[in-house]
Amino acid sequence: MGRRRKGLKIDGVLLLDKPVGLSSNSALQKARRLLNAQKAGHTGTLDPLASGLLPLCFGEATKFSADLLNADKEYLTTVKFGEKTSTGDAEGEVIFSAEPKFTFKEFCAVLERFRGEIVQIPPMYSALKKDGVPLYKFARKGEEIEREPRKVVISSLDIVDFQPPEVTLLVRCSKGTYIRTLGEDIGETLGCGAHLKTLRRTAIADLHIEEAVDLDLFERMTEEQRIAVLLPPDRLLQSLAPVKLDEEATKKFLNGMKVRTDERSIEEAKVRVYGISAEKTEFLLGVGRLTSDGVLAPDRLISFVDNDR
């Protein structure tokens, strides 16, 4: 009697609209069970308090999930001014309060200081680690750990709704940006304190919340419908330029060999690579590195062998 198969070999990406109150890992495990998938991972966590876009990767797509960790992200957040909390969000205790007296013009002037490259000190309630221990574990004990300031980029910071003491902002930012810290720092500059009331991720790179599937809806789908809403692995790689290889170069590339192409790059660049089968069908091979003289070297390759035993 053979060994029982541990799930199905499913390759694809699920753009999930994570609900409030659920951790990213819990959402991942729910989706994995519903798909009965062997291998799964996500592309960066969302706090339980936050909702929104959470790309989940299955099978071969997990090889490319790291590319989204470095991508720009977009958030819709409602900030409550006049109250600073212990956690920087609505779950914490109020530790400072002051009447918010700013005008719309004054608020806009303060926002201008937070556009472009800024410096943030990561919050204690974060997953950053000190000696292998997440900072939030120290914070829960009331301990304060020194954190190094970091540079981040706020590429856009727009007012969506202005109803003091609450203001809703749309933020487009670089990796490593803490929206809680941004809200707190704006409140600090205004002199009244602030914390996040809500946080929703609306985009990562060119992936948008409009494409995402609600978890409740995903649970109600049939097995065929769940498979149908998965996107192909190369949906994670759209920011990379495509390079297409002929049949002979495809075989060499899949065997880990460098190949020469007609493509050129000003400097070494990461690209997504497509090959062609004997049946003339185009398919994703993986990611490669292209040099200025047209040499393409494999980086991460799709596996075309079912290793489930």
Enzyme catalytic residues:
47
What is d(CA 133, CA 139) in angstroms, rounded to the nearest whole number? 11
Specify the amino acid at residue 286. Answer: G
- Other Cβ atoms less than 10 A from the Cβ of 286: the count is 22
DSSP string, 188-210: HHHTS-EEEEEEEEEEETTEEGG
Count of positions (residues) in the chain: 309
**Sole residue written with tokens 């936050």:** 50
- Other Cβ atoms less than 10 A from the Cβ of 48: the count is 16
